[in-house]
Structure 1
Amino acid sequence: LFGDSNAVHIKLSPRGYEIEHVLKGDTITEVLGYVQYDAEDLVEGMRRLTEQALQQNRITLAESQRLLQNYERSLRSYTYLSS
């Protein structure tokens, strides 16, 4: 539904268990790529929208920068909720 989740390979032993391998789940960028969306194009579109909003005095420069930073960080993040 939202891409591959994080997974862990665990080996049971007489002493308990051992973590053998950790597999990282998909990022939002990877999942969007599966359905033919390009993250760079999405960021560029958001950049254009924030520039328009700036020119129309609907947001400040600081708000524009924060919005773009959060957007780009979100695209690099894990698709499932995390702490």
Structure 2
Amino acid sequence: MHDQIASTHEAAFLNLNKAAEYLGISPNTLYVWRHRRQGPPNFRMGRRVMYRISALNEWVIAQERADSRSNAALNPLTQKAMKRAVRTP
């Protein structure tokens, strides 16, 4: 029973190296983001830095929404053209 619980918890969390592999980035990038307080949410479990898989997935979705190439609502090329203000001398 204890082994089953332990394996379930291990499956829900990734350490820094595994999280970097999961995201397709280098561990160094994830390390730098962590120290700049950027990137996906993380926490310390004892001495290890851990990432929830669900938090990584949510973070990726948020990045997609914030990117104008993935989100047509943010793409300036799909916006309605605005008229320029006329300057008066």
Q: Which one has the bigger helix percentage? A: 2
Name the TM-score, length of structure 1 as normaliser: 0.28
Relative contact order higher in (CA < 8 Å, ≥ 6 apart): 1
Q: Which one has the bigger strand percentage? A: 1
Name the TM-score, length of structure 2 as normaliser: 0.27
